[in-house]
Each structure stands twice: as C-alpha cells, then as structure tokens.
Amino acid sequence: MSPIKEQNIDILQSQRSARWQRWQHDLVRPYRIHLQLERGLSPNTLDAYMRDLDKLISFLDIEGIEPLQMTIDTLHTFAAGLYDIGLDARSQSRILSGVRAFCRFLLLTGRTDSDPSELLVSPKIGVRLPEVLSVEEIDALIAAIRLDTREGQRNRAMIEVLYSCGLRVSELCNLKISDLYLEEGFIKVKGKGSKERLVPISPRAIKELRLYFFDRNQWQIPPEYQDFVFITVKRGTRNIGRIMVFHLIKELAVKAGIHKNISPHTLRHSFATHLLEGGANLRAIQAMLGHESIATTEIYTHIDRSRLREEILLHHPRNMHRVDQGRH
C-alpha cells in the first residue's frame, strides 16, 4: 500500500467511487448522527470531525480497503501519509484522534469485533503557549475603532464583550438579548455541546453595550434576527458571522500597530491570563471559560517567571521575615 498523497485527499465528490458512496450511507452518516446526538457536538466541531474522517475514508477508497477490514498496519500507513504531505504534529494528532473515535464507534455499534486503533500512537506535541495581548494592547485595539461609522459602536461593544467575558467567537456571534442580565452583571452563554454557563460582565462592557443598543434601535432588523445582540449593517441584516469578527480584529491590530498574530481567540486567552495574573482561582477561570477539564485551563499558568519569583518572595513564610527586616 502506498502512502496517502495530498492530491488524493482532495478528490472531488463527483469523482468518488460507488464504494465510497456506500460507505457514506452505511458508516459515515450513522457516525455523524452519533456525534450529533450522543455527544452533542456543536455544528462547527461536528464539521471538523467529518472533514478529518473524510481524509481516512478517501485513503481507504484509493487503497481499496474496506473500513471494517482496517488493521493497525493500515492506520500506520495512513498516519505516515499525513506526515508525508507536510501536516504539523498538532494537525496529525487531531486527525488521528478522530480516527480513534471512529474506530471506537465501529466497535461499540457491533460493526467490528476489534479496535485497530488501540495501538495507534499520535506524534508528540510540545506545549504551545497561546498569544496574549497586554492590557495596553487591548486598549489600543479598542481605540483603533472609528466611532464615526455606523458600525463603530457595535465593533467597540463586540471587542469589549469578547475580552470582558472571555467568549469564544461562536458564543459572541450567537449571543442573544434574552440572555443578557445587565442589571445583575451577568450574561448567559451557550458553549460547546450546548452547555450553558453564567459569566460575569464588566461595567465597561455593559456601558459599551448600552451605547451600541442606542444605535441598534435605529436599525430595521428582520424578526428572525431581533434577539441576536450583534447584527450586521452591510450586505443584508443578520447576526454577525465568525469570519467578519476575525477580519475585524486583524484590521484593528494593523491600525493599532500590534504585530502579534492575533485572532478573536487571542482576546479569550488574554482574558484568562489577566485573571490568573490578578489572582483569580484556576477553578473560577475554568467555570467562566466553560472548560470541561481543568487541564485545558492550566495552560494559562504561564505567569512571567520574574513575577512568580516576586510573589514567592513576598508571600512565602520563609521569606516574609526577611522582607519585614528590610523595612526596619
């Protein structure tokens, strides 16, 4: 069997074999329903799972191997092909994780009597710390927004809410007016797997939202979009999209002279890092971010070493008397 090739991954669906079509009906569609109903994946996560699975299905089609006849050697060849086409270790690991999930599904539903992915090993991934903006850079990003445009105050409110509440961009785009409890200082957020959480919202973000609502009330908004907080004002009225927010932040970074490679998720990383540096409990940050596992939140413990040393010298009981002596 030859390694998977890049051009083979992107075969047009119109060129798929009858065998590939059969697999879609018998295996892929039931798996998609399983992910959607049993695991409650969001549409974006579900699409990502299916795109990765399609790479495996395409490979099996090219090699003439039935999915139910896969072996560990088959999967090793597939994994080698991912490396050959230049995917980084993180992408390889993500795809192979999806392969393992698919193999478990085949086993659990009785389609196979063994899991060929049990001995499949993913490449090692180093810890990659997320890009983080300083408070000054956040302020510069917001200051770069022109308030003399129709959408200016909306953009200001969006950036402030992203940073103030640590939202995912999809959570921002789907935020509803009916989920705002501004008098109480909270918003209700629907996160991954349709799980809801209450997140505190800062007075500054509330102020920017109320200024935005003054503008928003002047717009003609179709009934189906009236409950969405953030609405487009160009090329048709609807709730704001993820790509639009991404491009907005890239544009503002250039205007603000910020040379870091940032995205909407950078504001979420910055939110968590600034909370941790301010002394917030890691469990509280986990709850506000909507992380299922505390291990996901622990990536934000990359506090500057010099600041960490200063904190230890200031608060550890073996050091406190030395600090007190130094004051006399």
Which residues are catalytically annotated? 168, 192, 265, 268, 291, 300
Residue for token pair 């990003």? 141
Q: What angle do CA 260, 45, 247 make, to 5 degrees?
A: 35
Let me know the angle formed at the C-alpha of 131 by 257 and 199, rounded to the nearest 5 degrees: 105
Instruction: Give the separation between CA 217 and CA 111, rounded to whole angstroms.
Output: 56
Q: Tell me the C-alpha distance between 96 and 57, whole Å.
A: 13
Tokens 């119109």, located at residue: 14
CA atoms lying within 13 Å on the CB side of residue 293 = 4
Q: What share of the chain is helix, strand, coil (3-state, %, to 5)?
A: 60, 5, 35
| CA atoms of 19 and 215, how far apart (whole Å) | 56
Tokens 């549409």 locate to: 43
Crossing angle between the packed helical segments 282-289 and 264-277, to the nearest 10 degrees: 160
Q: What number of other Cβ atoms are within 10 A of residue 174's Cβ?
A: 20
State the Rg of the chain over Cα.
Answer: 24
